[in-house]
Amino acid sequence: MAEPASPAQIIDGKIYAERLRRDVADEVARLRAEHGLQPGLAVVLVGDDPASQIYVRSKGEHSLAAGMHSATYRLPAETTQDELVSLVKALNADPAIHGILVQLPLPKHLDERAVLAMLDPEKDVDGLTMINAGRLASGLPGLYPCTPVGCMMLLREAVGDLTGRRAVVVGRSMLVGRPIAQLLLQADCTVTIAHSRTRDLAAVCREADILVAAVGRPRMIRGDWIKPGAAVIDVGINRVPFDNPEKAAQGKTKVVGDVHFKEAAQVAGWITPVPGGVGLMTVAALLQNTVTAAKRAAGLEA
Ligand code: NDP
Protein backbone atom coordinates (compact mmCIF):
# COMPACT_ATOMS: atom_id res chain seq x y z
CA MET A 1 0.00 0.00 0.00
CA ALA A 2 1.41 3.38 -0.95
CA GLU A 3 1.14 6.46 1.26
CA PRO A 4 -2.48 7.55 1.61
CA ALA A 5 -3.74 10.35 -0.57
CA SER A 6 -6.05 12.95 0.89
CA PRO A 7 -8.80 13.17 -0.05
CA ALA A 8 -9.21 9.57 -1.14
CA GLN A 9 -8.60 8.26 -4.63
CA ILE A 10 -11.89 7.15 -6.13
CA ILE A 11 -11.90 3.56 -7.35
CA ASP A 12 -13.89 3.90 -10.56
CA GLY A 13 -15.81 0.66 -11.06
CA LYS A 14 -16.82 1.76 -14.56
CA ILE A 15 -13.25 1.64 -15.89
CA TYR A 16 -12.48 -1.78 -14.41
CA ALA A 17 -15.85 -3.30 -15.28
CA GLU A 18 -15.54 -2.13 -18.88
CA ARG A 19 -12.08 -3.63 -19.12
CA LEU A 20 -13.21 -6.94 -17.64
CA ARG A 21 -16.21 -7.09 -20.00
CA ARG A 22 -13.88 -6.42 -22.94
CA ASP A 23 -11.53 -9.20 -21.80
CA VAL A 24 -14.52 -11.56 -21.47
CA ALA A 25 -15.76 -10.62 -24.95
CA ASP A 26 -12.30 -11.32 -26.41
CA GLU A 27 -12.20 -14.70 -24.71
CA VAL A 28 -15.72 -15.54 -25.93
CA ALA A 29 -14.69 -14.66 -29.48
CA ARG A 30 -11.62 -16.89 -29.17
CA LEU A 31 -13.64 -19.80 -27.76
CA ARG A 32 -16.16 -19.52 -30.57
CA ALA A 33 -13.49 -19.30 -33.27
CA GLU A 34 -11.09 -21.96 -31.97
CA HIS A 35 -13.44 -24.39 -30.22
CA GLY A 36 -16.93 -23.68 -31.56
CA LEU A 37 -17.89 -23.00 -27.94
CA GLN A 38 -20.36 -20.23 -27.12
CA PRO A 39 -20.71 -19.71 -23.36
CA GLY A 40 -24.40 -19.54 -22.40
CA LEU A 41 -25.99 -17.84 -19.40
CA ALA A 42 -29.55 -18.45 -18.20
CA VAL A 43 -31.09 -15.94 -15.80
CA VAL A 44 -34.30 -16.84 -13.97
CA LEU A 45 -36.50 -14.13 -12.50
CA VAL A 46 -39.62 -14.97 -10.49
CA GLY A 47 -42.06 -12.16 -9.84
CA ASP A 48 -41.89 -8.45 -10.60
CA ASP A 49 -39.55 -6.91 -8.04
CA PRO A 50 -38.49 -3.65 -9.79
CA ALA A 51 -34.82 -3.75 -8.70
CA SER A 52 -34.51 -7.42 -9.74
CA GLN A 53 -36.02 -6.61 -13.15
CA ILE A 54 -33.31 -3.99 -13.74
CA TYR A 55 -30.52 -6.37 -12.68
CA VAL A 56 -31.87 -9.18 -14.85
CA ARG A 57 -32.18 -6.95 -17.91
CA SER A 58 -28.63 -5.73 -17.42
CA LYS A 59 -27.29 -9.28 -17.10
CA GLY A 60 -29.03 -10.34 -20.33
CA GLU A 61 -27.83 -7.27 -22.26
CA HIS A 62 -24.23 -7.58 -21.12
CA SER A 63 -24.02 -11.30 -21.86
CA LEU A 64 -25.32 -10.69 -25.40
CA ALA A 65 -22.89 -7.78 -25.83
CA ALA A 66 -20.04 -10.12 -24.87
CA GLY A 67 -21.06 -12.54 -27.64
CA MET A 68 -22.55 -15.09 -25.28
CA HIS A 69 -25.76 -17.05 -25.61
CA SER A 70 -28.31 -15.48 -23.26
CA ALA A 71 -31.63 -16.88 -22.07
CA THR A 72 -33.86 -14.99 -19.65
CA TYR A 73 -36.82 -16.72 -17.99
CA ARG A 74 -39.39 -14.38 -16.47
CA LEU A 75 -41.82 -16.39 -14.35
CA PRO A 76 -44.95 -15.05 -12.66
CA ALA A 77 -44.91 -14.30 -8.92
CA GLU A 78 -47.27 -17.23 -8.26
CA THR A 79 -44.83 -19.80 -9.74
CA THR A 80 -44.73 -22.91 -7.54
CA GLN A 81 -41.66 -24.53 -6.04
CA ASP A 82 -42.12 -27.55 -8.33
CA GLU A 83 -42.33 -25.38 -11.44
CA LEU A 84 -39.18 -23.49 -10.52
CA VAL A 85 -37.28 -26.66 -9.65
CA SER A 86 -38.37 -28.22 -12.97
CA LEU A 87 -36.94 -25.24 -14.86
CA VAL A 88 -33.66 -25.43 -12.91
CA LYS A 89 -33.41 -29.15 -13.70
CA ALA A 90 -34.05 -28.51 -17.39
CA LEU A 91 -31.34 -25.82 -17.44
CA ASN A 92 -28.94 -28.15 -15.60
CA ALA A 93 -29.41 -30.61 -18.48
CA ASP A 94 -29.21 -28.05 -21.31
CA PRO A 95 -25.79 -28.25 -23.02
CA ALA A 96 -26.14 -24.71 -24.45
CA ILE A 97 -26.33 -23.30 -20.91
CA HIS A 98 -23.11 -23.13 -18.88
CA GLY A 99 -24.21 -20.72 -16.19
CA ILE A 100 -27.52 -20.47 -14.31
CA LEU A 101 -28.43 -17.54 -12.12
CA VAL A 102 -31.63 -17.53 -10.09
CA GLN A 103 -32.24 -13.89 -9.23
CA LEU A 104 -32.74 -13.39 -5.49
CA PRO A 105 -34.74 -12.66 -3.47
CA LEU A 106 -37.43 -15.12 -4.52
CA PRO A 107 -41.06 -14.48 -3.55
CA LYS A 108 -41.71 -15.46 0.08
CA HIS A 109 -43.62 -18.69 -0.68
CA LEU A 110 -40.59 -20.20 -2.43
CA ASP A 111 -37.77 -21.96 -0.57
CA GLU A 112 -34.54 -20.33 -1.77
CA ARG A 113 -32.26 -22.89 -0.20
CA ALA A 114 -34.12 -25.80 -1.77
CA VAL A 115 -33.94 -24.14 -5.20
CA LEU A 116 -30.23 -23.41 -4.88
CA ALA A 117 -29.65 -27.00 -3.74
CA MET A 118 -30.99 -28.18 -7.12
CA LEU A 119 -28.47 -26.13 -9.12
CA ASP A 120 -25.67 -28.03 -10.80
CA PRO A 121 -22.60 -26.64 -8.92
CA GLU A 122 -20.68 -26.54 -12.21
CA LYS A 123 -23.29 -24.10 -13.57
CA ASP A 124 -23.70 -22.15 -10.32
CA VAL A 125 -22.18 -18.90 -11.61
CA ASP A 126 -23.42 -16.97 -8.56
CA GLY A 127 -21.38 -19.29 -6.32
CA LEU A 128 -24.26 -19.91 -3.92
CA THR A 129 -24.42 -23.71 -3.74
CA MET A 130 -22.99 -25.51 -0.72
CA ILE A 131 -20.41 -27.12 -2.98
CA ASN A 132 -19.02 -23.81 -4.21
CA ALA A 133 -19.20 -22.22 -0.75
CA GLY A 134 -17.27 -25.24 0.56
CA ARG A 135 -14.69 -24.98 -2.21
CA LEU A 136 -14.18 -21.31 -1.41
CA ALA A 137 -13.87 -21.99 2.32
CA SER A 138 -11.36 -24.76 1.57
CA GLY A 139 -9.32 -22.60 -0.80
CA LEU A 140 -10.16 -24.85 -3.76
CA PRO A 141 -10.98 -23.65 -7.28
CA GLY A 142 -14.70 -23.19 -7.84
CA LEU A 143 -17.27 -20.66 -8.93
CA TYR A 144 -17.21 -17.86 -6.36
CA PRO A 145 -19.94 -15.23 -5.74
CA CYS A 146 -19.73 -12.39 -8.27
CA THR A 147 -19.87 -9.32 -6.02
CA PRO A 148 -17.03 -10.52 -3.77
CA VAL A 149 -14.95 -11.44 -6.84
CA GLY A 150 -15.58 -7.95 -8.22
CA CYS A 151 -14.58 -6.35 -4.90
CA MET A 152 -11.28 -8.23 -4.88
CA MET A 153 -10.52 -7.12 -8.43
CA LEU A 154 -11.10 -3.49 -7.46
CA LEU A 155 -8.94 -3.84 -4.37
CA ARG A 156 -6.09 -5.42 -6.29
CA GLU A 157 -6.28 -2.78 -9.03
CA ALA A 158 -6.26 0.07 -6.54
CA VAL A 159 -4.10 -1.15 -3.73
CA GLY A 160 -1.96 -3.89 -5.27
CA ASP A 161 -0.58 -6.51 -2.90
CA LEU A 162 -2.91 -7.17 0.03
CA THR A 163 -0.59 -9.47 1.98
CA GLY A 164 -0.60 -8.94 5.73
CA ARG A 165 -3.20 -6.17 5.69
CA ARG A 166 -5.86 -5.93 8.40
CA ALA A 167 -9.22 -6.37 6.70
CA VAL A 168 -12.59 -5.81 8.36
CA VAL A 169 -15.76 -6.97 6.59
CA VAL A 170 -18.99 -5.58 8.02
CA GLY A 171 -21.74 -8.08 7.15
CA ARG A 172 -21.76 -11.87 7.17
CA SER A 173 -24.28 -12.88 4.51
CA MET A 174 -23.65 -15.94 2.33
CA LEU A 175 -23.98 -13.70 -0.74
CA VAL A 176 -21.47 -11.00 0.18
CA GLY A 177 -19.87 -10.75 3.64
CA ARG A 178 -18.70 -14.33 4.18
CA PRO A 179 -17.31 -14.94 0.69
CA ILE A 180 -15.47 -11.59 0.67
CA ALA A 181 -13.90 -12.52 4.00
CA GLN A 182 -12.79 -15.87 2.51
CA LEU A 183 -11.27 -14.19 -0.53
CA LEU A 184 -9.43 -11.66 1.65
CA LEU A 185 -8.10 -14.56 3.71
CA GLN A 186 -6.91 -16.28 0.52
CA ALA A 187 -5.12 -13.01 -0.30
CA ASP A 188 -3.25 -13.34 3.04
CA CYS A 189 -5.09 -10.56 4.86
CA THR A 190 -5.82 -10.80 8.57
CA VAL A 191 -9.59 -10.80 8.51
CA THR A 192 -12.27 -9.79 11.00
CA ILE A 193 -15.95 -10.31 10.19
CA ALA A 194 -18.23 -7.85 11.97
CA HIS A 195 -22.03 -8.02 12.15
CA SER A 196 -25.05 -6.70 14.00
CA ARG A 197 -23.88 -8.15 17.32
CA THR A 198 -20.32 -6.80 17.11
CA ARG A 199 -19.40 -4.64 20.09
CA ASP A 200 -17.99 -1.19 19.41
CA LEU A 201 -18.18 -1.57 15.65
CA ALA A 202 -16.58 1.84 15.09
CA ALA A 203 -13.44 0.78 16.95
CA VAL A 204 -13.28 -2.50 15.01
CA CYS A 205 -13.59 -0.61 11.71
CA ARG A 206 -10.87 1.84 12.74
CA GLU A 207 -8.37 -1.06 12.80
CA ALA A 208 -8.92 -1.82 9.13
CA ASP A 209 -6.40 -1.19 6.35
CA ILE A 210 -9.15 -2.60 4.14
CA LEU A 211 -12.74 -1.95 5.15
CA VAL A 212 -15.57 -3.68 3.29
CA ALA A 213 -19.12 -2.56 4.06
CA ALA A 214 -21.86 -5.04 3.12
CA VAL A 215 -24.63 -4.16 5.52
CA GLY A 216 -27.62 -2.62 3.74
CA ARG A 217 -27.84 0.46 6.00
CA PRO A 218 -27.50 3.81 4.29
CA ARG A 219 -24.34 5.79 5.23
CA MET A 220 -23.92 3.84 8.47
CA ILE A 221 -20.12 3.91 8.39
CA ARG A 222 -18.93 7.39 9.27
CA GLY A 223 -15.69 9.18 8.49
CA ASP A 224 -14.34 8.83 12.03
CA TRP A 225 -14.74 5.01 11.83
CA ILE A 226 -12.08 4.89 9.14
CA LYS A 227 -8.34 4.55 9.59
CA PRO A 228 -6.52 7.29 7.66
CA GLY A 229 -5.35 5.91 4.31
CA ALA A 230 -7.54 2.78 4.41
CA ALA A 231 -9.09 1.25 1.30
CA VAL A 232 -12.87 1.37 1.62
CA ILE A 233 -15.06 -0.90 -0.47
CA ASP A 234 -18.74 0.01 -0.23
CA VAL A 235 -20.99 -2.83 -1.37
CA GLY A 236 -24.22 -1.30 -0.06
CA ILE A 237 -27.05 -0.33 -2.39
CA ASN A 238 -29.68 1.63 -0.48
CA ARG A 239 -32.51 3.79 -1.80
CA VAL A 240 -33.03 6.97 0.22
CA PRO A 241 -35.00 10.18 -0.31
CA PHE A 242 -33.08 13.04 -1.93
CA ASP A 243 -31.34 15.46 0.50
CA ASN A 244 -32.97 18.30 -1.45
CA PRO A 245 -36.34 18.79 0.31
CA GLU A 246 -38.13 19.72 -2.93
CA LYS A 247 -37.09 16.50 -4.67
CA ALA A 248 -37.74 14.50 -1.49
CA ALA A 249 -41.25 15.96 -1.31
CA GLN A 250 -41.85 14.66 -4.86
CA GLY A 251 -41.02 11.19 -3.57
CA LYS A 252 -37.77 11.04 -5.59
CA THR A 253 -35.08 8.71 -4.32
CA LYS A 254 -31.41 8.09 -4.97
CA VAL A 255 -28.98 5.28 -4.32
CA VAL A 256 -26.34 5.54 -1.57
CA GLY A 257 -23.94 3.07 -0.04
CA ASP A 258 -23.37 1.81 3.49
CA VAL A 259 -20.53 4.30 3.91
CA HIS A 260 -20.97 8.03 4.43
CA PHE A 261 -19.08 8.87 1.26
CA LYS A 262 -18.38 12.57 1.83
CA GLU A 263 -16.93 12.01 5.29
CA ALA A 264 -15.08 8.83 4.39
CA ALA A 265 -13.46 10.34 1.30
CA GLN A 266 -11.72 12.89 3.54
CA VAL A 267 -10.00 10.12 5.53
CA ALA A 268 -9.63 7.04 3.35
CA GLY A 269 -6.80 6.40 0.90
CA TRP A 270 -9.12 4.77 -1.64
CA ILE A 271 -12.89 4.49 -1.80
CA THR A 272 -15.50 3.04 -4.15
CA PRO A 273 -18.44 5.33 -4.98
CA VAL A 274 -22.09 4.25 -4.94
CA PRO A 275 -23.29 4.11 -7.63
CA GLY A 276 -20.33 3.58 -9.93
CA GLY A 277 -18.23 1.21 -7.84
CA VAL A 278 -18.81 -2.39 -6.84
CA GLY A 279 -22.22 -2.77 -8.50
CA LEU A 280 -20.75 -2.47 -12.00
CA MET A 281 -18.20 -5.18 -11.26
CA THR A 282 -20.87 -7.69 -10.22
CA VAL A 283 -22.24 -8.22 -13.73
CA ALA A 284 -18.76 -8.28 -15.28
CA ALA A 285 -17.69 -10.96 -12.78
CA LEU A 286 -20.83 -12.94 -13.63
CA LEU A 287 -19.85 -12.99 -17.30
CA GLN A 288 -16.37 -14.10 -16.37
CA ASN A 289 -17.73 -16.91 -14.18
CA THR A 290 -19.90 -18.08 -17.08
CA VAL A 291 -16.89 -18.25 -19.38
CA THR A 292 -14.99 -20.18 -16.71
CA ALA A 293 -17.90 -22.63 -16.34
CA ALA A 294 -18.13 -23.09 -20.13
CA LYS A 295 -14.41 -23.80 -20.41
CA ARG A 296 -14.53 -26.34 -17.59
CA ALA A 297 -17.57 -28.05 -19.12
CA ALA A 298 -15.69 -28.32 -22.42
CA GLY A 299 -12.59 -29.70 -20.72
CA LEU A 300 -10.56 -26.58 -21.51
CA GLU A 301 -8.27 -25.06 -18.94
CA ALA A 302 -10.08 -22.30 -17.05
P1 NDP B 1 -27.97 -9.07 4.26
O2 NDP B 1 -29.14 -8.32 4.79
O3 NDP B 1 -28.11 -10.48 3.88
O4 NDP B 1 -26.79 -8.99 5.35
C5 NDP B 1 -26.50 -7.80 6.01
C6 NDP B 1 -25.42 -8.05 7.02
O7 NDP B 1 -25.17 -6.81 7.69
C8 NDP B 1 -25.79 -9.08 8.09
O9 NDP B 1 -24.71 -9.95 8.31
C10 NDP B 1 -26.08 -8.22 9.31
O11 NDP B 1 -25.68 -8.81 10.54
C12 NDP B 1 -25.20 -7.02 9.09
N13 NDP B 1 -25.74 -5.86 9.77
C14 NDP B 1 -27.01 -5.39 9.71
N15 NDP B 1 -27.13 -4.31 10.50
C16 NDP B 1 -25.92 -4.11 11.07
C17 NDP B 1 -25.44 -3.16 11.99
N18 NDP B 1 -26.20 -2.19 12.48
N19 NDP B 1 -24.15 -3.26 12.36
C20 NDP B 1 -23.35 -4.22 11.87
N21 NDP B 1 -23.76 -5.15 10.99
C22 NDP B 1 -25.04 -5.10 10.60
O23 NDP B 1 -27.43 -8.18 3.05
P24 NDP B 1 -26.46 -8.59 1.83
O25 NDP B 1 -25.17 -9.08 2.34
O26 NDP B 1 -27.20 -9.39 0.83
O27 NDP B 1 -26.25 -7.13 1.17
C28 NDP B 1 -25.59 -6.11 1.86
C29 NDP B 1 -25.69 -4.83 1.05
O30 NDP B 1 -25.04 -5.03 -0.19
C31 NDP B 1 -27.12 -4.41 0.68
O32 NDP B 1 -27.17 -3.00 0.65
C33 NDP B 1 -27.30 -4.94 -0.74
O34 NDP B 1 -28.24 -4.21 -1.49
C35 NDP B 1 -25.92 -4.75 -1.27
N36 NDP B 1 -25.55 -5.63 -2.38
C37 NDP B 1 -24.89 -5.07 -3.42
C38 NDP B 1 -24.49 -5.82 -4.48
C39 NDP B 1 -23.74 -5.16 -5.57
O40 NDP B 1 -23.66 -5.70 -6.67
N41 NDP B 1 -23.12 -3.99 -5.32
C42 NDP B 1 -24.80 -7.25 -4.57
C43 NDP B 1 -25.43 -7.79 -3.38
C44 NDP B 1 -25.81 -6.99 -2.34
P45 NDP B 1 -26.40 -10.12 11.16
O46 NDP B 1 -25.88 -11.28 10.36
O47 NDP B 1 -25.93 -10.13 12.57
O48 NDP B 1 -27.87 -9.91 10.98
Residue 180 has pLDDT above 60, yes or no: yes
Distance 26 CA to ligand 1 centre (A): 34
Residue 101 has pLDDT above 80, yes or no: yes
Amino acid (1-letter code) at residue 96: A
| pLDDT tens string 246-282 | 888 888 899 999 999 999 999 999 999 999 999 999 9
β-sheet bridge partners, residue 241: 253
Domain contains 28: no
| Residue nearest ligand 1's atom 8 by CA | 171
Residues 91 and 159 in one domain: no
Residues 219 and 263 in one domain: yes
Residue 107 has pLDDT above 80, yes or no: yes
Residues 174 and 262 in one domain: yes
* Cα 295 from Cα 301, distance rounded (Å): 6
Domain contains 5: no
**Residues 230, 236, 242, 248: is their CA dihedral positive or negative?**
negative
The answer to whether residues 136 and 149 touch, using CB atoms and an 8 Å cutoff, is: no
Q: Are strands 210-213 and 9-10 parallel, antiparallel or unpaired?
A: unpaired
Residue-range definition of the domain harbouring residue 252: 147-279
Q: Is 181 exposed, middle or buried (0-12, 13-18, 19+ CB in 10 A)?
A: buried
Question: What pLDDT is attached to residue 64?
Answer: 98
195: Cβ below 6 Å to ligand 1?
yes
Whichever domain contains 238, its CATH number is 3.40.50.720
Which residue among the candidates 59, 123, 227, 295 is catalytic per the annotation?
A: 59
Distance 174 CA to ligand 1 centre (A): 10
The answer to whether residues 75 and 88 touch, using CB atoms and an 8 Å cutoff, is: no
* Cα 43 from Cα 21, distance rounded (Å): 18
Distance 216 CA to ligand 1 centre (A): 4
Give CA separation, 245 vs 242, 249, 250, 251, 256, in Å.
7, 6, 9, 10, 17
